[in-house]
Structure 1
Amino acid sequence: MKKKICVLHVAEAAGGVERYLETLFRYTDHDHVENILICSQNYDYKKMKQLADRVIVIKMAHQIDSKADFKAVKAIRHYIKRITPDIVYAHSSKAGALARIADLGIKNKVIYNPHGWAFNMQQSAKKKEMYKWVERISAHFCDKIVCISDAEKESALREKICKPSKLQVIYNGIDLEEIKNTKAKTRNELNIPEDAFVVGQVGRLSEQKAPDVFVKAAKLIKEKIPNAYFILVGDGELRNQIEVMIHKAGLDGSFLITGWVDNPAAYMKIMNVGTLLSRWEGFGLVLPEYMACGVPIVATDVDAIPTILTSKKTGLLVQMDNALNVFQSIFSLYKNQKLKSMLIRDGYEEVIIKYNGHRMVLANEKLYVEGLEYG
């Protein structure tokens, strides 16, 4: 009997990374791969314990914190030595740095998936350069870097992060079966009028996801579509600011902020339009999730988004920070049922072919085997 491949995953960031890992663990061939997860305190331990073979929680700081980072590296190194995995698989930039430092001098293969390059985020030029140099140096201490989109690979090549042969594109995948089996929320239980035209966005209430632009667009939409209703599915550091904006726009009675939820697809299924108004985006896992739920999409034309959405075929692309452009696209979907139906049909076909979670898992498992056989 062949020995199982032992993969030790290290993850700090929750949200999209956590959903990625859930799909990866759920559809792994457990006869051939053993998944062990070291994760931060931000993860849902009970949920991950049902999916991974073993879950270890350690304290990790999201921001740079020399004392906390030293302790995290020490803890990760302890578990690497104790578990002796065949592969250490680091997810996101912070865990990627911690895991690669922790693994120095230990014999195994190392895979790193940044889940979106930190240097593509909107920040000072000084910080961007710092992140680029960190990635260039750290790239020497892993065997393979997984890019979640073609745009991510292009960024890596443009910034000379590593040699091309070290990069592997594996598109994000979603759990189509789970989405299909998710029961939709009813408008009644959410106190949304049955005849409402519901516009929603799933994502963190953060600078990246531009919930402020969503509220500005909502004000314009409400003026033209009186029965419009708006949902922000998520939470985050900008929540108080967004609530003030909603109140000043006079939208209190037409707005719902759900906070963090375990089943975002349940909310997507009642939307007439789903948006992703990001200012930067490594992939945008919510895009194929909208497609799988039969929701037409309006999203910004930034980073990886236009490589996932084909304009006027699987979604409508808008300019970043342009609330008027967002309003115009959503209003066109409100008026044009033919366009809306086409986006839903073509989007669903796209997600079945390209963004199926099973395909993502198989690609990762192939990477494990090839790395151990030929690395």
Structure 2
Amino acid sequence: MIKKNFCFFVSTLDSGGLENYLLRFLEYKASDFNKIVIFCKAGRGGQLEKRYSSISNLIIYKKKIGFFNPKDYISLYTFFKKSKIDTICDFTGNFAGLILFTANLATIKKRVVFYRGSTNHFNESKLRLLYNKFVKNLTYRYATNILSNSNAAFDFFFSHDWRNDTRFKVIYNGINPQQFIEEKENLRNEFNIPKDGFVVGHTGRYNMAKNHQTILKVAKELCTKYNDIYFLLCGNEVKDKLKAKVKKEKLEDRIILQNNREDIPKVLNTTNCYYFPSITEGQPNSLIEAMVSGIPIIASNIEPILETTPKAIHHRFKNPMDVEGFVAEIEKIYLNRDNISSYCCTEWARKHFDHKVLFEKFYNEL
């Protein structure tokens, strides 16, 4: 089998669900590629750049591409031709449109788009929605393969019956459970959390979709009511954005904030309950990691999360803004911590998100 040259388009290489997913996929399948180019179209790398660079046949290319700058796309066309790219894959949903159009002009036969969110991630205005419609039409016309990690994404972005279009495929995120199974250490000593303290965890970068404001409201109620409950929140900019609010509530010792960390298995080992009240998602890697680790989960009842979890626990999920509902559900786990098996779905998650199966499915689309 002839190995080909692939180009993957991302915005940056900052740590996030997409960036970690692609890194894991490439670490697993790198030997099946001739050359891999990671094209950072925001013009910069990020926190995961060093790990990406450690893959021997991988090149990182950082070049800012504007939303509608003809010079950028002429330059991109030249890049495609010089690099002899066989397949491109853009992970930015509708905003892949002009990339796919340019790739078509450059006679690249395989043009893949991968939707990683289930709603628009921009402040909507007439002009922005008009541009979004324009690039979406280009995406639909010039993509040879249209992928998503949830049915919810296709239901949102494509109102026609996409299920009858063979270009559309849902490929769920794959997780290798070994690093979570093998890690035995936790971070209680580092964060001065008592051995018998009850820790509610959340992992995810700071943005409106992750709903940190509701997490803080829930944390305040529970930490005020019980003196042995702690919250551990980590992700890009989490500490920077939330430390002033936590300090104002005088809960610095009970609500522990961390920016991006590379030892997520240890973070998860520190927790007794995982709380994930997202307002919108694609398919959350963080939640899958928690399930694989065997932690009881409480989450919002949005469609992408319902699609990612077993139906048997859906009755425990709440509207993303339901502070009292979340307080009650976390309190149930806290008061019955010795009988939490019904909240866990370890084996289900390991079976449904087997990285070997799902990475092969993705590779076969390229």
TM-score norm. by structure 1 comes to 0.86
RMSD: 2.8
Cα deviation per residue 1:100-134 (whole Å; 9 max; x = unaligned)? 24314122210000211452x48446455653443
Matched, 1:294 2:298: no
Amino acid at match of 2:251: L
Task: Answer with 101-110 or 353-362: which moved more.
Answer: 101-110
Amino acid at match of 1:49: S
Instruction: Look up the match of 2:181.
Output: 180
Amino acid at match of 2:281: E
Instruction: Give distance in 2, aligned partners of 1:58 and 1:299.
Output: 36
Instruction: Look up the match of 1:20.
Output: 21
Q: Residue 145 of structure 1: SS of its match in structure 2?
A: strand
Amino acid at match of 1:48: Y
Give 1:11 deviation, angstroms.
Answer: 1.2
Instruction: Give distance in 1, aligned partners of 2:33 and 2:202.
Output: 38
Please say if residues 229 and 255 of structure 1, whose CA atoms lie closer than 8 Å, have aligned partners that are also in contact.
yes
Instruction: Look up the match of 1:92.
Output: 92
Instruction: Give distance in 1, aligned partners of 2:162 and 2:363.
Output: 24
Matched, 1:223 2:224: yes
Q: Residue 85 of structure 2: SS of its match in structure 1?
A: coil
How many aligned residue pairs are there? 359
Give 1:86 deviation, angstroms.
Answer: 1.9
Instruction: Look up the match of 2:9.
Output: 10
Of 42, 47, 51, the match for 2:45? 42
Q: How does 1:184-195 map to 2 (within 5 A)?
A: 184-195=185-196
Task: Answer with 308-317 or 83-92: which moved more.
Answer: 308-317
Instruction: Give distance in 1, aligned partners of 2:294 and 2:57.
Output: 33
Amino acid at match of 1:233: C
Q: How does 1:1-375 map to 2 (within 5 A)?
A: 2-13=1-12, 14=14, 15-28=16-29, 30-31=31-32, 34-39=35-40, 40-43=43-46, 44-51=48-55, 53-60=57-64, 73-93=73-93, 96-97=96-97, 99-108=99-108, 109-119=110-120, 121=121, 123-124=123-124, 126=126, 127=128, 130-158=131-159, 164-182=165-183, 184-236=185-237, 240-313=240-313, 316-337=316-337, 340-344=340-344, 347-368=345-366
Instruction: Look up the match of 1:372.
Output: none
Q: Residue 28 of structure 1: SS of its match in structure 2?
A: helix
Instruction: Give distance in 1, aligned partners of 2:268 and 2:253.
Output: 20
Give structure 2 stretches of 5+ with no counterpart.
Answer: none
Instruction: Give distance in 2, aligned partners of 1:203 and 1:296.
Output: 17
Q: Residue 103 of structure 1: SS of its match in structure 2?
A: helix
Cα deviation per residue 1:174-221 (whole Å; 9 max; x = unaligned)? 232233344533310222222211111101111110111100000111
Amino acid at match of 2:31: H
Please say if residues 196 and 227 of structure 1, whose CA atoms lie closer than 8 Å, have aligned partners that are also in contact.
yes
Instruction: Give distance in 2, aligned partners of 1:70 and 1:259.
Output: 38
Instruction: Give distance in 2, aligned partners of 1:265 and 1:8.
Output: 30
Task: Answer with 158-167 or 50-59: which moved more.
Answer: 158-167
Task: Answer with 302-311 or 124-133: which moved more.
Answer: 124-133
Please say if residues 118 and 131 of structure 1, whose CA atoms lie closer than 8 Å, have aligned partners that are also in contact.
no
Please say if residues 183 and 266 of structure 2, whose CA atoms lie closer than 8 Å, have aligned partners that are also in contact.
yes
Instruction: Give distance in 2, aligned partners of 1:129 and 1:328.
Output: 43
Cα deviation per residue 1:110-161 (whole Å; 9 max; x = unaligned)? 0000211452x48446455653443233221110111101222322332678
Task: Describe the shift of the 1:233–1:75 C-alpha distance in structure 2 as closer, same or farther (beyond 3 A).
Answer: farther
Give structure 1 stretches of 5+ with no counterpart.
Answer: 369-375
Q: Residue 256 of structure 2: SS of its match in structure 1?
A: strand
Q: Percent identity?
A: 20
Give 1:3 deviation, angstroms.
Answer: 1.1
Amino acid at match of 2:352: K
Q: Residue 90 of structure 2: SS of its match in structure 1?
A: strand
Amino acid at match of 2:359: V
Cα deviation per residue 1:224-252 (whole Å; 9 max; x = unaligned)? 3211111111133x755522321233312
Task: Describe the shift of the 1:306–1:268 C-alpha distance in structure 2 as closer, same or farther (beyond 3 A).
Answer: same
Give 1:296 deviation, angstroms.
Answer: 1.1
Please say if residues 11 and 91 of structure 1, whose CA atoms lie closer than 8 Å, have aligned partners that are also in contact.
yes
Amino acid at match of 1:38: F
